[in-house]
Structure 1
């Protein structure tokens, strides 16, 4: 089951996507600045509204200076100065590509009086700016900033909820959001004015919905308005700069406006065609997310039923397909024929009630077609989303019955995300786990192998003989995810044994890989991997601790192993590292390991290290007793 060059290329592209995203964004910003300078040298002063040469050069200087300003106070000073310069010309300046970019970047740092003046000016010219290629971006930013300033006071009571976000990984709120959510920085009158602007925008868009829905820029303004009314904001997450949604508390009155958008669109005769148009499909996706956030389950059900019965279930007859092929394959509903409708279906799967998902979406759209949908480039993502959202074991059993003979074909096509989602579903629902392992090993032709061959085969998602010929092939992201899920299964003994039977130098290569390192998380945290197995893997890696410590990802693995190690094994790790402290400190992550594990202390005085370690252990036990729930509390939890 060899992957062809196209599959390998696609896989490589996927793994490098997040790594390159930050660089691409930075280079895009530099490119924009260089292009703007080039236009200026040719006496062409930007796209959109034409600026005077001195105005154009002024905004070029501001854009260049923006990259050097890190402090919110400096940006605020610059923002107020720039907006003072364009007073009386706000709409024209916003309609130029270069100046629009500058105004959008500075808008969130304006003081109360400046921002209120801008809301008034734009409020009087909404019809013009909503559909302008460049001014619409400034309007969207204005709407977002107004929303933040209006609801900032509401967040104070639940600061931990919106500031820390997901407990498993902290969200990085940028300075601009912090500046605008800081309710103490703005007066009550200003917050009310911002709230009135948000409502005015929503009502204006509702009154002009028929006109703006079909306009590319007006449609985007509507979508942003709907998300803002629900308090949905996007945040950058870690250095990869991927985005994650942040949910803010907003006034309950805003939820009624979201329902109005939904009801208006539901009443349109063109509604059944909305999923098959890019503009209206994304608008419906945003409305579904906003309704979910507002808790309007009735409206969600109305949209779901109408989409399913009047749009998704239609069957498209393709005359170009030969009759024999039509007889062999079931006709797919219309929803699976276009990317825009498939993406809408994916969002619907996320937001609808579990009963509606089971009795309607699964039975009427997916059942009997899982294998075929899993093998199609556009629709396999819908199968993944279905697997990610189901909470009914019977649905998973049905899906397994359809995939009994199809897993190998899915892997050969490179649709490995389906297999990863299947593994996660088995883990989450605690069922079909043994069957999944059997199907996976059969699909990879590695049922009869063990140890390193088995481990490598799963990590690369290739049969052992293929993996042996392609030693340079990196670990597959989904291979690592599948292995992590299997380690959380009730009986992961086969995989645990394969890891422990793999040579330690090979394990080091896996654990220092950015994708392979997370296997250790599952190994040490799984309830079904025994303490003896954790002791064995630490013992197995003796002599390789320095190799782990000198790698950015391996050092994190070493810390994880140290945390679960017993006192004797902790000392063994520290003793080995203490023999080469200079080498350890040669890498920044090695120096961190040195500091956290008190390796310098051990090197100078092992007895003192043991005493500090003993003290920490006593503290942990003391806190465990303090935090341990009483028998009465345990009864209540049960």
Structure 2
């Protein structure tokens, strides 16, 4: 896949990811507020927290600290947290373990440990080393231990991070607590002795966990500490284990010798008689996922292949004996029967080397099973992962022959992600493109349709006969499919459908957060001719103001303006200049006015034309498009 194609896909999905992040942050704030309210309620009932019981004055003290933490804002937040952290840890001197074992106080300690000074942090590490077993097995203290381990890794590895790492989180107007924690521990000047002490603490934790692996693997708290330790040893600061995109985790440069400790964990587990059962339990599956992610980060191809073959031969390929072999899905290998093993398989697909991917994972698990797997809710994500990472055209052709016959049923089941991944694979490997278009249109019953109806079917991934006169929201996957088809070698039928769509309806599509990126694909595709691009720009005449007055539409308008010749450029600006007051009524319109110099044109068209011909004009428009992408 070319970087341009990759960027188009990422741009199309970026808005959805951005909304998810905003919602997640909002949910986190709401959760913190609710936790504080519940804690106050327990205090009024003389119940001073779950876990270890605190004295009333201690409980109230931590309530006040937590409330203060939640209310910290401004530029000096990090400095305030550091002062507060040292004071709080001084208050709990000689009571660190008990305080860590209370739900309320453990949250406070967890939030502050990353901002302590050298002396305080070393004292805490010393206490925790003497009480590893208690802390690993406690539901609340284990969280404080995990954060302490994480901070120790950052400080031990910090000397390997020059000034460039000071930019971590610095570009954000509103830094998260996590960003501040990273920045503080990676960039502050800790002494060499302190960094060595942090490294020794990490090794002691790892050795203790290795020596007690058989006990802690089956304990929910201990298991989580093991996973955190393995990820940190690989230099992975944070990762949502089991999620598809592990590349979003923050990467920390760590000493190569730390990777040897990961190998010890791996070797110990591989020799366990219970190893074949590990993928089928939630906690143990998550542990194996962490190991795979860490080995991939360490670029340890030998160990990855070793554990991959072990999983495949001793665990994944077993037949299920729990249910009668009546349903077709139950005839498949055991790995496809539980959510935990499926999540592990997805991670293995992500990290597998091409040879292992082709000769083992695909041939032994997926060949001949693609259609069945794509039709069940749990396993269709595995098919998506295979399609997203296939690099062999022969494999894609085999999968296409299986999936193509059931494309309509896949859509009916709502497994649209499979269709998206198939479209991306056809685009990336430049094969089966014509067949994909033909089968998709047949599945949507729109092969004989054209223009607006065909485009609507694909955008909504809905059969033609189910279309209504009312406007239906664009399906995110439908938009991405359209973008990928526009990057096919012969997208002529879809190009014609777009150009035949009524301009007012097309403008609505381009002002939609999901539909707007279709304009990017149309303009940027090397398989959409220059005449078609010119037709699109002219086709939208009369709708330029509608585009300019919306966030997403204004970005499309700027994109069209840059792609247009001198005459279409003037047509766009002339139309906007006729309603200059309306254009300035919205912030996005005001930006378009400034960037395209609409006001200049309204006052003096000749002056505007002379500016257009000047060398600096190209730079202005380039800045405009960049600004539009940043806004996304």
The alignment's TM-score, normalised by the length of structure 2, stands at 0.89
Alpha-carbon displacement from aligned partner over 1:431-463 (angstroms, at most 9, x marks no partner): 111111111011111110111000000011111
CA distance in 1, matches of 2:510, 2:223: 47
1:515 aligned partner = 514
Deviation at 1:599, TM superposition (A): 3.4
| Residue 504 of structure 1 pairs with residue 503 of structure 2 | yes
CA distance in 2, matches of 1:235, 1:330: 32
CA distance in 2, matches of 1:617, 1:464: 48
CA distance in 2, matches of 1:35, 1:54: 17
2:381 aligned partner = 381
Structure 2 CA distance for partners of 1:102 and 1:211, relative to 1, 3 Å: same
Deviation at 1:155, TM superposition (A): 2.5
2:317 aligned partner = 313
Q: Secondary structure at the match of 2:386?
A: helix
| Residue 297 of structure 1 pairs with residue 301 of structure 2 | yes
1:435 aligned partner = 435
1:568 aligned partner = 567
Structure 2 CA distance for partners of 1:157 and 1:22, relative to 1, 3 Å: closer
- Aligned pairs for 1:331-346 within 5 A: 331-346=331-346
2:273 aligned partner = 269
Deviation at 1:64, TM superposition (A): 1.5
CA distance in 2, matches of 1:161, 1:15: 20
Report which stretch shifted further, 508-517 or 370-379.
508-517
CA distance in 2, matches of 1:371, 1:490: 26
Equivalent residue in structure 1 for 2:197, among 193, 200, 208? 193
| Residue 176 of structure 1 pairs with residue 181 of structure 2 | yes
Asked if 2 retains the 8 angstrom alpha-carbon contact of 1:172 and 1:235, the reply is no
Report which stretch shifted further, 211-220 or 517-526.
517-526
2:363 aligned partner = 363
Deviation at 1:312, TM superposition (A): 0.6
Report which stretch shifted further, 442-451 or 21-30.
21-30
Asked if 1 retains the 8 angstrom alpha-carbon contact of 2:577 and 2:601, the reply is yes
| Residue 96 of structure 1 pairs with residue 102 of structure 2 | yes
Deviation at 1:300, TM superposition (A): 0.5
Structure 2 CA distance for partners of 1:46 and 1:355, relative to 1, 3 Å: same
| Residue 49 of structure 1 pairs with residue 48 of structure 2 | no
Alpha-carbon displacement from aligned partner over 1:281-310 (angstroms, at most 9, x marks no partner): 010011001001101100001001111111
1:156 aligned partner = 162
Q: Secondary structure at the match of 2:248?
A: strand
Deviation at 1:163, TM superposition (A): 7.7
Report which stretch shifted further, 494-503 or 606-615.
606-615
Deviation at 1:538, TM superposition (A): 1.6
Alpha-carbon displacement from aligned partner over 1:156-206 (angstroms, at most 9, x marks no partner): 2865998899xxxx9998222111110x53222222222222222111111
1:62 aligned partner = 65
Deviation at 1:402, TM superposition (A): 1.0
Alpha-carbon displacement from aligned partner over 1:30-65 (angstroms, at most 9, x marks no partner): 111111111111111111111111221121122111
Asked if 2 retains the 8 angstrom alpha-carbon contact of 1:155 and 1:162, the reply is no
CA distance in 2, matches of 1:84, 1:567: 70
1:136 aligned partner = 142
Structure 2 CA distance for partners of 1:540 and 1:81, relative to 1, 3 Å: same
Asked if 1 retains the 8 angstrom alpha-carbon contact of 2:318 and 2:333, the reply is yes
Asked if 2 retains the 8 angstrom alpha-carbon contact of 1:146 and 1:195, the reply is yes
Asked if 2 retains the 8 angstrom alpha-carbon contact of 1:330 and 1:369, the reply is no
Structure 2 CA distance for partners of 1:588 and 1:107, relative to 1, 3 Å: farther
| Residue 110 of structure 1 pairs with residue 108 of structure 2 | no
Asked if 2 retains the 8 angstrom alpha-carbon contact of 1:94 and 1:103, the reply is yes
Structure 2 CA distance for partners of 1:160 and 1:468, relative to 1, 3 Å: farther
Asked if 2 retains the 8 angstrom alpha-carbon contact of 1:147 and 1:228, the reply is yes
Structure 2 CA distance for partners of 1:344 and 1:319, relative to 1, 3 Å: closer
| Residue 206 of structure 1 pairs with residue 205 of structure 2 | no
CA distance in 1, matches of 2:618, 2:592: 21
Asked if 1 retains the 8 angstrom alpha-carbon contact of 2:169 and 2:180, the reply is no
Q: Secondary structure at the match of 1:232?
A: coil
Give ranges in structure 2 of 5+ residues lacking alignment.
Answer: 1-15, 623-632
Alpha-carbon displacement from aligned partner over 1:531-553 (angstroms, at most 9, x marks no partner): 22222212111221221122122
1:249 aligned partner = 253
Asked if 1 retains the 8 angstrom alpha-carbon contact of 2:330 and 2:337, the reply is no
1:589 aligned partner = 588
Give ranges in structure 1 of 5+ residues lacking alignment.
Answer: 1-12, 624-638
Deviation at 1:616, TM superposition (A): 4.1
Alpha-carbon displacement from aligned partner over 1:471-494 (angstroms, at most 9, x marks no partner): 343111111111111111111111
Equivalent residue in structure 2 for 1:84, among 85, 90, 100? 90
Deviation at 1:335, TM superposition (A): 0.4
1:72 aligned partner = 78
Alpha-carbon displacement from aligned partner over 1:308-344 (angstroms, at most 9, x marks no partner): 111111112465455xx66xx7820000010000110
CA distance in 2, matches of 1:443, 1:612: 51
Q: Secondary structure at the match of 1:468?
A: coil
Structure 2 CA distance for partners of 1:249 and 1:308, relative to 1, 3 Å: same
Asked if 2 retains the 8 angstrom alpha-carbon contact of 1:171 and 1:235, the reply is no
Asked if 1 retains the 8 angstrom alpha-carbon contact of 2:169 and 2:183, the reply is no
- Structure with the bigger RCO (C-alpha within 8 Å, sep 6+) is 2
CA distance in 2, matches of 1:384, 1:609: 51
The alignment's TM-score, normalised by the length of structure 1, stands at 0.88
1:632 aligned partner = none
2:36 aligned partner = 33
Structure 2 CA distance for partners of 1:199 and 1:616, relative to 1, 3 Å: farther
2:12 aligned partner = none
CA distance in 2, matches of 1:445, 1:18: 36
1:404 aligned partner = 404
Q: Secondary structure at the match of 2:138?
A: coil
Alpha-carbon RMSD across the aligned residues, in angstroms, is 2.8
1:415 aligned partner = 415
1:465 aligned partner = 465
Report which stretch shifted further, 155-164 or 347-356.
155-164
CA distance in 2, matches of 1:603, 1:106: 58
Deviation at 1:603, TM superposition (A): 3.9
Deviation at 1:101, TM superposition (A): 1.1
| Residue 21 of structure 1 pairs with residue 27 of structure 2 | no
Structure 2 CA distance for partners of 1:54 and 1:444, relative to 1, 3 Å: same
Alpha-carbon displacement from aligned partner over 1:95-123 (angstroms, at most 9, x marks no partner): 11111111111222212222122111112
Deviation at 1:424, TM superposition (A): 0.5
Deviation at 1:275, TM superposition (A): 0.6
Structure 2 CA distance for partners of 1:620 and 1:171, relative to 1, 3 Å: farther
1:7 aligned partner = none
